[in-house]
Amino acid sequence: MANSEYEYVKREFEFGSRLPPSNWIVVRIDGCHFHRFSKIHTFEKPNDENALRLMNACATSMLEKFPDIVFAYGVSDEYSFVFREETEFYQRRESKILSLCVSYFTSMYVMKWKDFFPNKDLKEPPYFDARVVCYPNLKTIRDYLAWRQVDCHINNQYNTCFWLLVKSGKTEKEAQQALKGTFSKDKNELLSQQFQINYDDEPAMFRKGSCVYRDKVETKVKTDHCGNPIKRTRLVITVANVDIIGPEFWENHQHILREEKCRYEYIKKFDINHRLPPCNWTVVCINASQFEQFSLIHSFEKPNDGTALRLMNASASLMMESFPDIVFGYGFDNEYSFVFQEKTELYQRRESLILSSCTSRFTSFYMMKWKEFFPNKDLVEPPHFEAELLCYPKQKIVCDYLSSRQAECHTRNQYNTCFWMLVNSGRSENEAHELLKATLSKDKNELLFQQFHLNYNNEPAIFRKGSCTYRQKLEESAGVEGSENSTTVRWDAMVAHVDMGPEFWRKHPYILSM
């Protein structure tokens, strides 16, 4: 962060909430509004095999990307990821783990969509929310996974009956009434007697859900001098549709989790939802993860790629359309901060749901808009974002936070402009770093002017000042018979590249008062 008078907003208000040690960490990701999403994309009912396989492929990618995930279990539009007990992933910082996981999962979902639905276009961006739950021992982890599989059985058995009744001619309301108060054996009888279906013969993926884990597999690596195969045991990521409630699976896979007696009735008490304090301004700051590598792979221009910045701004504008409670956004480089109105009740102010849904939706917008801004560049690897959620008690502190980000934008961009001008002129990157070491802002301005005849203040404002996204009030007059012109008011999201000093807020007092 820039060494400025505004630095206290980070030092005094940003707290990296860390998960307790010696606890197993579970990140449970769940599709947002997937009833609507599945209807729009005409998923088969009660189960769409391609949609489930897409979820499994995303989960497999998660295990490939994050080695600390030891097991995953998924059903429908939900997936749970179990991190090893002693993980130090992101120093166990809850917001980082939560946002990065849901962002990467979302990114993979969009990226792999065409692999499973080659003849269907994405009509709207998918997005997910997530929560982090900690479990103190292996017993509760086993019980948690058993709980999810029991839930899978209950929901799938009900949905199988429900949709068969609907397809046979009943209305949805009649199907609900027919199933009201029925037990598992009643549903099995209904399927057998009315539809000649043995529920146990239904595909295991529907009935049991999907487990993703690293299995021990013996593979031939070479042959000895006598021609005998030499084998080694390796861990290979596997997707299986098996029973994980009973002990058999865990006995045969003791390298994943040790056997414990299952009991899953009480596990919900661990699922604590942290709520943000009332009457505090909420800020979600989203950052691209490993963006240096991402920008290098996709050949972004240095020090600034205007197209990449406009893609970030377009994603931010869509965020404001999706979340009416966002009153302001500020972004530069690979970062965007979103300010929610002071009294927002989005997700009942539940921290994990706000953080994850914002990160997931931003990721989805970024990917869906990619081709619009880079028509000649394919996404080689999925972008993914991490995020932090900040709370500020006063409007002045929110303004100071935004000023601190703009100060950082100036400092970082001025340095990068000098650095890349030096490199492009023939200096090595080490030489450029050494030349700029300990220089002040005026020194960099002089270097740019004297060596490259460049006035830094004439550089595009989007690079120097970053981008402000907010709603602009538009007034339209419309004639009405028998009366004077009436005025209708419309608000449109706009992007501006301006100083966020006191004058800006005096001219736009309505922004933080909405």
**Amino acid occupying residue 131:** R
Per-residue model confidence (pLDDT) at position 369: 97
Per-residue model confidence (pLDDT) at position 485: 55
pLDDT along the chain (514 residues), means of 10: 70 74 92 95 96 97 96 97 91 92 97 96 95 91 95 95 93 93 93 92 95 87 72 87 93 74 56 78 95 96 96 97 95 97 91 94 97 96 94 92 95 96 94 94 95 95 97 66 58 91 92 81
Per-residue model confidence (pLDDT) at position 259: 42
Per-residue model confidence (pLDDT) at position 502: 92
**pTM for the full model?**
0.85
Per-residue model confidence (pLDDT) at position 476: 59
**pLDDT tens-digit profile of 214-239?**
998 877 767 777 767 777 878 899 99
**Amino acid occupying residue 445:** N
**Which domains does the chain possess?**
18-211 (3.30.70.3000), 281-478+493-507 (3.30.70.3000)
Per-residue model confidence (pLDDT) at position 260: 43
Contacts of 67 (CB under 8 A, 6+ apart): none
Report which secondary-structure segment, H or E, holds 134. Answer: strand 128-135
Per-residue model confidence (pLDDT) at position 489: 66
Cα distance between residue 48 and residue 276, in whole Å: 37
Per-residue model confidence (pLDDT) at position 1: 44
Helix count and strand count (H, E) for the chain: 17, 12
CB 417 within 8 A of CB 403: no
Per-residue model confidence (pLDDT) at position 493: 86
Per-residue model confidence (pLDDT) at position 258: 55
- Reduced to 3 states (helix: H, G, I; strand: E, B; else coil), residue 411 is helix
Length of the chain, please?
514
Per-residue model confidence (pLDDT) at position 480: 52
Q: Residue 182, exposed/middle/buried by CB under 10 A (0-12, 13-18, 19+)?
A: middle
